[in-house]
Amino acid sequence: LKKKKNRRGAYMNPIAMARSRGPIQSSGPTIQDYLNRPRPTWEEVKEQLEKKKKGSKALAEFEEKMNENWKKELEKHREKLLSGSESSSKKRQRKKKEKKKSGRVSKVFHFSKYYK
């Protein structure tokens, strides 16, 4: 019988190996660096907050203006649809009568009937 060779090396404990290498060199700033970093004064913080408020006011005004323009556009579009629908109301009534007579369901679906 042949004796098998143990091809595995000796077991190396990873924790013991890490300790033998010594402490790790950190690549980033330490906690002490974060604690000692420069911070704004209370006055500077107040100024920054004021600037933010001014910016949000400008945005709110812009959005309000856009909403007004959109409402005007909608009104114009509504007026167009309503002025066009008055003249074609007789045509609609005729179509309804024809549909009742024919007894068939139309395959064409008109959204203008439902959205004014």
Question: Would the pTM of this model clear 0.75, i.e. be above it?
Answer: no
Cβ proximity of 116 and 80 under 8 Å:
no
| Tokens 């091809």 sit on residue | 7
Q: Is the pLDDT reported for residue 105 higher than 70?
A: no
The top-scoring range by mean pLDDT among 23-32, 48-57, 68-77 is 68-77
| Tokens 């010594």 sit on residue | 22
Structure token pair of residue 27:
């690549």
| Tokens 């068939």 sit on residue | 104
Q: Which long-range contacts (CB under 8 A, 24 or more apart) does 89-95 make?
A: none
Q: Is the pLDDT reported for residue 109 higher than 90?
A: no
Instruction: Please report which residue ranges of the chain form alpha helices under DSSP H.
Output: 14-21, 31-35, 42-87, 89-102
Domain boundaries, the chain: 41-86
